[in-house]
Amino acid sequence: MPPLDDSITKIQEYYGNIILKSKDLQTNTCCCSESIPPHHLSILDNIDNEILGKFYGCGSPIPPALDGCSVLDLGCGSGRDVYLTSCLVGPKGFVIGVDMTDEQLAVAKSHQQSQARRFGFPKSNVDFRQGYIEDLAALDIADDAIDVVISNCVINLSPAKGRVFSEIFRVLKPGGELFFSDVFASRRLPPALREDRLLVAECLGGAMYVEDFRRMLRGLGCPDYRVMTKSRITIDNPEVEAKVGAITFWSMTIRAFKIASLEDLCEDYGQVATYLGTIPDHPHQFPLDDHHTLISGKPMLVCGNTAAMLGETRFGRHFKVDGDCSIHFGAFDCSSAPASQSGTGCC
Ligand SMILES: C[S@@+](CC[C@H](N)C(=O)[O-])C[C@H]1O[C@@H](n2cnc3c(N)ncnc32)[C@H](O)[C@@H]1O
Q: Which of 293, 255, 250 is nearest to 275 (CA)?
A: 293
Do 100 and 165 lie in one domain? The reply is yes
In a domain, residue 346? The reply is no
Do 245 and 331 lie in one domain? The reply is no
| Predicted pLDDT of residue 331 | 97
Q: Are 199 and 205 in contact (CB under 8 A)?
A: yes
Q: Are 310 and 302 in contact (CB under 8 A)?
A: yes
In a domain, residue 262? The reply is no
Distance 174 CA to ligand 1 centre (A): 26
Distance 218 CA to ligand 1 centre (A): 25
| Predicted pLDDT of residue 341 | 40
Do 295 and 171 lie in one domain? The reply is no
| Predicted pLDDT of residue 25 | 84
CATH of the domain at 201: 3.40.50.150
According to DSSP, the residues that pair with 149 across neighbouring strands are: 72, 178
Atom of ligand 1 nearest to the CA of 81: 8
Q: Which of 278, 322, 284 is nearest to 300 (CA)?
A: 322
pLDDT < 50 stretches in the chain:
2, 337-343, 345
In a domain, residue 263? The reply is no
In a domain, residue 182? The reply is yes
Do 84 and 188 lie in one domain? The reply is yes
| Predicted pLDDT of residue 339 | 37
CATH of the domain at 328: 3.40.5.100
Do 69 and 196 lie in one domain? The reply is yes
According to DSSP, the residues that pair with 178 across neighbouring strands are: 149, 256
According to DSSP, the residues that pair with 66 across neighbouring strands are: none
Q: In whole angstroms, give the CA distance from residue 288 to residue 226.
A: 8
| Predicted pLDDT of residue 328 | 98
**String of DSSP letters for 170-213:** HHEEEEEEEEEEEEEESSPPPHHHHT-HHHHHTTSTTPEEHHHH
Q: What residues make up the domain containing 283?
A: 271-341
| Predicted pLDDT of residue 35 | 84
Do 34 and 166 lie in one domain? The reply is yes
Q: In whole angstroms, give the CA distance from residue 83 to residue 85.
A: 5
Sequence-distant (6+) residues with CB within 8 A of 245 are: none
Q: Is 252 helix (H, G, I), strand (E, B) or coil?
A: strand
| Predicted pLDDT of residue 6 | 78
Sequence-distant (6+) residues with CB within 8 A of 235 are: 27, 28, 29, 204, 241, 244, 249
Q: What domain count does the chain have? A: 2
Q: In whole angstroms, give the CA distance from residue 163 to residue 168.
A: 9
Q: In whole angstroms, give the CA distance from residue 156 to residue 212.
A: 13
Q: Are strands 94-99 and 70-74 parallel, antiparallel or unpaired?
A: parallel
Q: How far is CA 216 from the centre of its chain?
A: 16
| Predicted pLDDT of residue 4 | 61
Q: Are 196 and 248 in contact (CB under 8 A)?
A: no
| Predicted pLDDT of residue 311 | 98
pTM, 2 dp: 0.95
- How many C-beta atoms surround the C-beta of residue 17 within 10 A? 10
Pocket of ligand 1 (CB under 6 A): 8, 11-12, 15, 30, 55-57, 75-77, 80-81, 99-101, 104, 132-134, 152-154, 157-158, 203
Number of residues in the chain: 347
The pLDDT tens digits for 192-226 are 999 999 999 999 999 999 999 999 999 999 999 99
Which of 95, 100, 102 has most ligand 1 atoms within 8 Å of its beta carbon, as the pocket-test mutant?
Answer: 100
Do 129 and 205 lie in one domain? The reply is yes
Q: In whole angstroms, give the CA distance from residue 195 to residue 178.
A: 28
- How many C-beta atoms surround the C-beta of residue 222 within 10 A? 22
In a domain, residue 266? The reply is no
Q: Hey, CA dihedral for 22, 5, 249, 217, is it positive or negative?
A: negative
Do 212 and 279 lie in one domain? The reply is no
DSSP 17: I
Do 185 and 334 lie in one domain? The reply is no
Do 144 and 202 lie in one domain? The reply is yes
Around 219, how many Cα atoms within 13 Å sit in the side-chain half-sphere? 11
Q: Are 8 and 156 in contact (CB under 8 A)?
A: no
Which of 1, 98, 99 has most ligand 1 atoms within 8 Å of its beta carbon, as the pocket-test mutant?
Answer: 99
| Predicted pLDDT of residue 155 | 98
Do 237 and 303 lie in one domain? The reply is no
